Amino acid sequence: MIGLLAELERSIIGERTRAGVRAAQRRGVEFGHKPKLSPEQLEHARELIDKSERDRQGIADLFKVSRTTLYRALSGSPA
């Protein structure tokens, strides 16, 4: 009997959580990590790459991110 009540409570918690997430999304709350590079920083990084002023590791170091983070941000993939 206790197991049945625990299972019911767990189900109710899940429903409330999903309802809360949907309500937050309707309010415009954004989920996930904050982007490490702003759009201005990405534009600057693209300019540096186009001008070949620095290698990509140097550009990543300039913005204090890893080279992988820079590649993902430039490709538009989610981090």
Is-contact 73 64, C-beta < 8 A? no
Rounded distance between C-alpha atoms, residue 46 and residue 56, angstroms:
10
**Residues 26, 28, 30, 35: what is their CA dihedral angle, to the nearest 10 degrees?**
150
Task: Give pLDDT tens digits for 8-55.
Answer: 999 999 999 999 999 999 999 999 988 899 999 999 999 999 998 788
Asked if residue 79 has pLDDT above 60, the reply is: no
pLDDT at residue 52 in the model: 84
- Judge contact between 34 and 24, C-beta under 8 A: no
pLDDT value, residue 77: 62
Looking at the predicted structure, is the pLDDT value of residue 69 above 70?
yes
Domain boundaries, the chain: 1-31, 39-75
Query: pTM to 2 decimals?
Result: 0.58
Tell me what the mean pLDDT of segment 54-64 comes to: 91
Task: Work out whether the CA dihedral 55, 57, 60, 62 comes out positive or negative.
Answer: negative
